[in-house]
Amino acid sequence: MVPRYSINKHMDETCQRNHGEIGIIDSTVNCFKNQHPSTANVNNNSSSYFSKNLLNLETRPSKSSFLKTEESAAQRFSPYFSNSSSVCSVNNEPQAQTVKIISLGSLASKLSRRRRIQGGKQIVYKEINSLPPTVPNMCKSAAAQDDDEIYAECSSQKENQLAQRAQQEQFFSKKEPEFQEKINKCNGEDLADSVQVSLPADNINDKSLLFGTSSTKPESRSGGVMLSPDEFETPLAICTSAELNNSLEVKTQPHSQVVPSSKTKMNCGTQNCFSKDDVQVLPVEVHEDLKNEINHALSETVEKVEFQNSIGDILDKINEVRSVPSSPGHPYYLQNFLLVLQAVLKNEDDVRLFDEQDMNIINKFCTLSVGGQKLYVRLFQRKLNWLKVNKIEYGEISMDLSPIIEELSEARFLQTESELEDLCEGLDLLSAPELKTLAKIFHLPNPNGQKQQLVDDFLRLAKQRSVFSRSQAGIGTVILKRVKDLAGKTVRVRKGPRAVFSRILLLFSLSEPVEEEAGSAGQGQLFTVLMVNMGRMVFPSYTINRKTRVFQDREDLIRYATAAHLSNDIATAMVNGNWEEANHLYMCAKETWNELKNHPSLSYHRVLPEYLRRFTVGWVYTRILSHGVEILQRLHMYEEAVQELRTLLSQDVYCTDSRGRWWDRLALNLHQHLKNTKKAIDCIRNGLADPFVRTGHRLALYQRALRIRDSPSCKQFRCLLDDLPVITVEDVTHVTIKGKMCPQMGMGKSVFLMEDVGDEEGGEDFSVSTVMCSVEELALTHYKQNGFDQGIHGEGSTFITLYGILMWDIIFMDDIPDVFRNSYQTFPLDLYTDSFYENRRDVIEARLQQLHTASSETLAKLIADTWTTQEGKAAALVSWGRFISLQQVQSLAACLGGVFLSGVFRRLSKDLRHCKGGLPDLVVWRTDTHHFKLVEVKGPNDRLSHKQMIWLSELKKLGATVEVCHVQAVGAKSKRLS
């Protein structure tokens, strides 16, 4: 190995040994002399700085004559270069290439800073050898030449320039009179202020690339030279790769204009003369920086054009398939899958989140046969597991799926059994009888055990080492081979392509709950598309207005999708009661988030509005950590749960709507489980001061403070609770009724028995039957027997539906950016945030005022207008089946009145997220007297929640008659069903 900075010396010694004495040629070329124009010259080296900042070709006085070499020598070549190769390769024919216009202003500032750091010396900008015609390949050796000038002044690499210098000397001697004429003509004229790089591409729209320069004042210029391209062609070295030769055209002109690429016009200005000590040659790194950045920019442009062309081809193929929806070869699930692909690829913000490799996968899918596409969509929607080929049956695709499976395998959409390497996955593939057969072969202690027990036994056996030799295959490998033999041909959807399509579906269904869509591989959204295409589901009319990019780039989307799938796995484990598995997944997610939370992209997420921030990776991981609190509490790890809660509460960017629950749970853990009353009181005080703690959680914290204050064991802490804000909740009327409860096994809601009296077809005889009913239905019967001829058991949906009908046009109004991002939304994205009211404050207040003064007839008309035009459309707030008819809705609204409705709607508009729960179970009314009553029903051992207490108190303040109906169970043991 030769050290980098000793390479010149090493090359000199090698050259001398191999070829003898080599003449030294002075590489210093004199510039055009200001005082003596005839002595002006053009230097031999190209500084990469002019490409990034400016192309200002300086001149300075020199004592040497115009481009005369001090001595001549025969041309010799270094052993490090081929004898047949030349430093400069000539290529006169421009190559047509599609490239992109790029701005290099940032490069100028970057190099300007580097220049100041290196000592603030003036830089002499040099021009590459002027050997006609063009010599773009000179850039290949530019870095080496600069390295020589910095560290060795004159080195053996300059031998490669001998032949070139000889031709150069001859050329300049012929052109010297013409140069003199040009120099005289140039004196006194304004010099160029910019350098223009024209890119001969189809998509540049007559634009050109400007390299910014710092203009020089006229009085500071002592002279200048303009070399006309007609008399003198001077290619400039822009350090690009060889394949980009002739793709760039560099011009220095007073004004920006496009000229033929074969011509190069330069204005060479001179400032005050520099001394030799002021001269500084740019380091080799500058050449490499410019080379890399230009190469990268141009290659990006070419890739972008090809990328856009591939998108167009894919969309054409999708349109071709979807143009015949009635074709028997294109079933509904394939049509819907292609519709989702088309919708995402047509959107510019979405399609930029997929790279060329992703588009190749999509394009490859579109080129599959119809059978291949249908089978892949079917397998894609199944759980990601290995499948036996003989168990894959889709008769509507083909009775023999083997050729189609082979097609998908060759296209790398499916993995085959040769890629099955995980023993656990292989064991899960086998049925219970097959596992028992395998257990007998390996002499497991309990070969007839349950499937999961056999799997565990095999995994333990696989961990044992071979007793004969370490070089032999382990027992696990032997078991896996037997598993493959038993299973036969198997396949699995390949994870790479599946991840691409999963991200597409995730983008398409961004407004849906993230865990549901991530866990179902988009099944829910594909079903929605199916219902729409069949005409069974119609969405409200609204304008899609996407202004903000949620995901910055492809990596941002991948991080979000990964977090979404992990969140789904944790939620599934929690639902199934696998708390240890859930804890393991939670700890992995926590470690990942700790590494990711300082990522630069998260600073962009923080400035997004809250309703878009919920689609960021930070929001999903925060939800996972919140689930982790419940997991830790289930495992009785209360100290860890408290620490996690403190971590969650230390930030206010993500999941702010959960802060009330976090404060409440932290106070409970500190007070009851860790027995730290003082910290619990501090937690309560901080929670009550948090503006994000509202409604039920706020009341829960206050009531816990009251219990601590009234506890005899906490007398010493009472002084800490004196200045807490007082929260008062007015109590309401309580009534008790009795009912016969049906004996039942296990947990669940109470079921009561009720006698139903019905008349026979003769009209005279009555039959009595016993029916099972819920506690709410039992209470509803009680109130009907007390004169309320109308009643609805709808809990909160009764009032929420009324709100959705009377506020329909406001909910789906236009001019609110980013709340409607696709055609399958049932609500605006900001509906459950504070932004909903803030974005529509004026129109909401106007509607509330209209309702406050509205008569029964006005209310009936407003309801009828929405009902007749929107009935049946999918809206999150409207349950069309809650009322049996339009007349029932109008009857209830007339009883409730505009004043009462406006008060309820104001509370819902300002905080629907926290106020949609807790509304009474029953609404009963008399149509003749317009008297209504709101009833919260409570069965045995049931009590009011904090949200219910607050709503009952608020409804009473608004003038409603409110009751809590307690149902007492009697005769539970004596009455049984036969």
Reported as a single tens digit per residue, the pLDDT across 948-957 is: 999 999 999 9
Q: What distance, in Å, lies between the first and last C-alpha atoms of the chain?
A: 95
Reported as a single tens digit per residue, the pLDDT across 577-596 is: 999 999 999 999 999 999 99
Task: Give percent of the chain above pLDDT 70.
Answer: 63
822's torsion region: left (phi>0), alpha (psi -120 to 50) or beta? beta
Note the maximum CA span of the chain.
135
Q: What is the CA radius of gyration of the chain?
A: 40
Mean pLDDT, range 369-382, rounded to an integer: 93
Task: Give percent of the chain above pLDDT 90.
Answer: 46
Pairing of the two strands 962-970 and 733-741:
parallel
Q: Which residue has the higher pLDDT, 172 or 672?
A: 672
Give the separation between CA 86 and CA 19, rounded to whole angstroms: 18
Residues 494 and 413: beta-carbon distance below 8 Å: yes
Residues contacting 113, CB < 8 A, separation 6+: none
Burial 818-832 (b: 16+ CB within 10 A, else e): bbbbbebbbbbbbbb
Least confident range of 281-290, 663-672, 791-800:
281-290
The pLDDT of residue 239:
39
- Measure Cα distances from 778 to 755, 773, 784, 922 in Å: 10, 7, 10, 11
Give the separation between CA 351 and CA 363, rounded to whole angstroms: 13
Pairing of the two strands 922-926 and 931-938:
antiparallel
- Which secondary-structure segment (H or E) carries 498? helix 495-508
Whether the pTM exceeds 0.85: the reply is no
Q: Which residue has the higher pLDDT, 870 or 520?
A: 870
Mean pLDDT, range 923-943, rounded to an integer: 92
Give the separation between CA 104 and CA 98, rounded to whole angstroms: 18
The pLDDT of residue 512:
74
Q: Which two tokens stand for residue 754?
A: 């009720």
Burial tier of 766 (Cβ tally within 10 Å: 0-12, 13-18, 19+): exposed
Q: What's the angle, vertex CA 186, arms to CA 182 and CA 190, rounded to 5? A: 155
Least confident range of 363-377, 718-732, 824-838, 963-977:
963-977
Reported as a single tens digit per residue, the pLDDT across 110-140 is: 555 665 555 444 433 333 343 444 333 443 4
For 573, half-sphere exposure in the C-beta direction (CA atoms, 13 angstrom radius) is: 21
- Which secondary-structure segment (H or E) carries 434? helix 432-441
Average pLDDT, the chain: 74
- Measure Cα distances from 398 to 230, 326, 375, 403, 405 in Å: 72, 19, 9, 10, 11
Q: Which two tokens stand for residue 374?
A: 């249908």
Tell me: pLDDT of 886 over 90. yes
User: Which value, to the nearest 10 degrees, does the dihedral of the CA atoms of residues 209, 212, 218, 220 take?
Assistant: -140
Tell me: pLDDT of 304 over 90. no
| Domains along the sequence of the chain with CATH | 4-282 (no CATH), 308-413+494-538 (no CATH), 419-488 (no CATH), 555-721 (1.25.40.10), 733-970 (no CATH)
The pLDDT of residue 895:
95
